[in-house]
Structure 1
Amino acid sequence: MTIQELNERSRVVFRHIVETYMQTGEPVGSRTLSRISELDLSPASIRNVMADLADAGLLYSPHTSAGRLPTQQGLRLFVDGILEIGNLTEAERADIKARCAVEGRNMEEMLGEASSMLSGLSNCAALVIAPKSDSSIKQIEFVRLGVDRALVIIVTANGMVENRAIELPPGLSDSALREASNYLNAKFAGRTLQEAKQEIQRELDNHQAQLDELTQDLIAHDIASWGGGETLIVRGHANLLQNVQALEDLEKIRELFDTLEVKKERIKLLELAEAGRGVKIFIGSENNLFSLSGTSMIISPYQNSREQVIGAIGVIGPTRLNYARIVPMVDYTAKVIGKLLD
């Protein structure tokens, strides 16, 4: 069904029911609607319209004596046919850009801040799928932070700098740290992190690396264990859990987050975001990830300067979340991230 298939009276009643539900999360009754001057209909007439909308699969009644709520099909019809997407103000755009672009942050910190910001602005959970690096490594250096810690500085061929704090094996000397740096620079030259990891692991397994035991221990337990795939960053779990009465089942929400931690599911999520351009809205079971959790997701891919999708950012909330407000937030934040990562 399309919104054009509804007559004007049905369209107005349907719009008010969905908008009221999004504000309150409660079933909407005919008496509430009869007080809206725009309708100019009696409660009996409104009930007839509501019955027709229910027959069309757009509304349902959670209890015999309750008002009506939009079905998943009804919410999809509203989002596609009635919803008016708002615009961010210049001040809001400037705030999003400033909060993402703080100097001195590495990529993961910047993406974490973007996720926290979206969570706070939307009062929902927010997620970022951070990109896997497909750029070759230009240089790698160690900076000792103390007796047992060091900062690894990785510079990629495209100019991105990534900092990682690591634990050092007990007794590792400064000369051994320099030896590790020289070894890694030789192995990383012209290779991606994943390619270098495979070569390093092969040499360590075959005892071909000409390194002392402590240096080998550093490389085997820290460098070779680094991830090279997509990273999931989630902020604002509590925002989603506090809506548990509207979402009906706390355990299903926990299952959702457990599912998101599975790498293959993150890849599926990224593929969903990549399908086409711009912001995607998934309502309830339209996305298999959320089929049991009563949630919706608004997600957008972000791209590099070559227009390649390298990650995604989005918001997860109850199906009655403020789509008109959140869609432009997600859209603009994705564009800001894409520019900052170039």
Structure 2
Amino acid sequence: MSPKPPQIPHWRHVYRGLLRESSYLPDPVARQYMSNYVRQSYRDYRPRVQTNSYTGPNGQFYVERRARKLLSILSRANEGYLKPLERVLMLSYGRLGRRRHALARPLFVPNSPEVPFRMILPYKLPRNWEPIPALSALIDSQAIRMGSRRDEMVGTPIIRKKPEPKGNIWNGYVSHRKVQIALRKWYDSIVKGILPPIPDQEWQTLYGLVTGTEPWELPKRRKRLAENTTNNALDAEFLVFGPEKGHTFGSYVRGRPHTITRKIMTPLWNRVLASTPRMRQDTETGKWKVSWGMPIVKAPSFRKMDSELAAAVSFFDCIDPKNGNMLQPQG
């Protein structure tokens, strides 16, 4: 019996592709975060990885599908598709995904020694749980901001203040179960929608990229090797798929690629900045103050007119006072 042919290591190709696409991202924070995230993910899932994923358990299939999905998002982001590029920025700055939970963990689990890879935040409402003052200030500020600037925070679940269930119409009694259900729903909305602050250095980098004070340069891509093309018309692709079709717009149904420039990146950075808070504690009162990154809007420029010339020229000098017609310029 002849031995089985060696299997192709799928994971190695996907891993190299993820690291390669992470190094081409047009944001410095995204490049560093995505590279670390890929390495950490492969290390944590290493006991479940096998040489050939199709012979593994059912969970192996979903792990590989997640890796290939992330590779697709990174590839389309580097090609200039705006939605994948915005999603990568949101993931990198902790507005979505795992890093948002990691940044919010000190607010839910104070004095935690380390951040686990899974189950970062308690998914169930702890008994007798009350938010710490920093989290309470952030919840109130985010609830107010989402009410006034909802268009800048599209896709973020709505966060409201602590609910107070109404009592019945007879004696105003509120059952304990009703209170627990309201608190559980409120806690779930906080876990799903809270936007924690990022480290100060990353915020300064993001603000500098938006305002233009931070230097930026697009990473250079490595040149691909030339493919061996055959001039034979009866190749395998022609025999299987038939003649090649002409130019179609099928690949642009969900957006089109753009040439990544600073002009393209600035609105995306601006949107991330608008959903990124900063928190500081007042030394005198001990209260927490929350400020949000405001979009950078250039002030409109108006032309100035000489005051003496404006006094000498009347607005109606070019109009005939008898019939109201425009006078023709003379000379």
Bin for the TM-score computed over the shorter chain: under 0.3
TM-score between the two structures when normalised by the length of structure 2: 0.22
Instruction: Name which one, 1 or 2, has greater alpha-carbon Rg.
Output: 2
